[in-house]
Amino acid sequence: MLPPEGLYAHLPGADVVVGAVLVPGAKAPLLISKKQMETMKPGAVMVDISIDQGGITEASRPTSIGEPCYMEGHVLMCCVPNIPGTVPDTSTKLLTEATLPYIIRLAEKGEDVLKDDTAFRTALNVYRGRCTSRSVAEALGFSYTPVDEVL
């Protein structure tokens, strides 16, 4: 990812800008203001994949598959949330394939999997009534408890 200064330097010459920033458990950072978008070419396209987490531009707002685009000044905006939902059979199959090994491990080991598997501890957001994800706690204003303290 370019640092913001590098990103801003490329906006005037860009035909298409794709914003795809994910901060797990948190809102996407606001990277591009409306004023910065004014430097883009007329007819340039801004695709904000991060719209599920609030979007990366000041002008981003969720759209739909039926009406995926809108104009913001002279820039065409496309901010469709939940893009995998547009292909439900394929996305369900892929999500199932990706998560099934974890589900099987959880079914076999129960809560003990948290002691033995770093991936499970890292992915845990809430356990026994405590928020164990720092980014989720900060985003929602909850107190944070490290997972090791509740195990």
**Beta bridge mates, 19:** 48
pLDDT tens readout for residues 7-51: 889 999 999 999 999 888 788 999 999 999 999 999 999 999 999
Q: Could you tell me the domains of the chain? A: 4-84 (3.40.50.720), 87-150 (no CATH)
% of the chain at pLDDT higher than 90: 74
Burial of 128 (0-12, 13-18, 19+ CB in 10 A): exposed
DSSP tally for the chain: helices H, then strands E? 7, 6
Q: pTM higher than 0.85, yes or no?
A: no
Is the confidence at residue 139, as pLDDT, over 90? Answer: no
